Amino acid sequence: MFYSIEDIIQQSKNYKSVAELMIATEIELTGRSREQIIALMKKNLEVMKHSVQQGIDGVTSVTGLTGKDATKLNDYILKGDIYSGSTILGAVRNAIAVNEVNAKMGLICATPTAGSAGIVPGVLMAVSESLQLTEHQQLDYLFTAGAFGLVIANNASIAGAEGGCQAEVGSASAMASAALVCLKGGSAQQAAHALAITLKNMLGLICDPVAGLVEVPCVKRNALGASQAMISADMALAGIQSVIPPDEVVATMYRVGRQMPSIFKETAEGGLATSPTGLKLQKEILERQTK
């Protein structure tokens, strides 16, 4: 069992990869066999693939606040006249797709939460297409993301209600970034620095859902979180390191979350939720529900 990012770096040296360390930890914690654990992750992977495609095909939320932006972005990518690279923009599209499915009350895989569920699978599906990843590589990515996410969850928070959106979108983006580094053959230490670079950029991000719903601004934050994950991974693979050690960054995120006022922690009492338009939308939604 590992309890810190540094533990992952050191203990993974005794395994083929961080993914294998995570599988061994799952065996230790759950008592399941290796085959059972891999089978469960395969089910998660299939749910992720389906939610990405469903969102790209086009869905609209129950409230009508969000929907079909993934379709719009997909059409834009297909035109070819884009600023961002197709892989990064594909990850952004995928992240939007998953969160639009979530807003529609569809089936998604929380990674690590429903509100941040688009980032880890969104990035994975984009690089799977560009790098032609095997199923084994895709599963390794997910186990690696899980390893780093476990440390964040145990030492800080992954809940917007406890730590703001830095704890949800920030954690998911950091997990994806670290997993991307390992996917490209980077070291566990490089993956840790990717995680730190990502979390540092997300520090202080508030959770301010309009009308208390996981739609606005959640969907677009997933989109930008996916792009952040990919940029941080490339920075780390280039040899760039976080001046502040990764475990200290995680501890800082926890501390910032504790210091953050409650109005910025999923209460819909601050931020965009209390903008004039946010309040107007909240009133309209509540009125529809009471009819």
Q: Is the pLDDT of residue 291 over 80?
A: no
Q: How many CB atoms lie within 10 A of CB 149?
A: 23
Residue 207: helix, strand or coil by DSSP?
strand
Residues of the chain with pLDDT > 70: what percent? Answer: 100
- pLDDT at 261 (0 to 100): 98
Token duo for residue 264: 């910025």
- 8 Å CB contact between 97 and 221: no
pLDDT one-digit tens code per residue, 188-201: 999 999 999 999 99
- pLDDT at 56 (0 to 100): 98
pLDDT one-digit tens code per residue, 210-238: 999 999 999 999 999 999 999 999 999 99
Confidence of residue 290 (pLDDT cuts 50, 70, 90): confident
Give this prediction's pTM: 0.97
Distance from C-alpha of 262 to C-alpha of 48, rounded to nearest angstrom: 32
Q: Which residues pair with 60 in a beta bridge?
A: 67
Mean of the pLDDT values across residues 19-38? 98
Q: Calculate the CA 174 to chain-centre distance.
A: 7
- 8 Å CB contact between 142 and 124: yes
Crossing angle for the helix pair 218-237 and 171-183, to the nearest 10 degrees: 40
- pLDDT at 288 (0 to 100): 87
Domains of the chain (ranges, CATH numbers): 3-205+217-254 (1.10.4100)
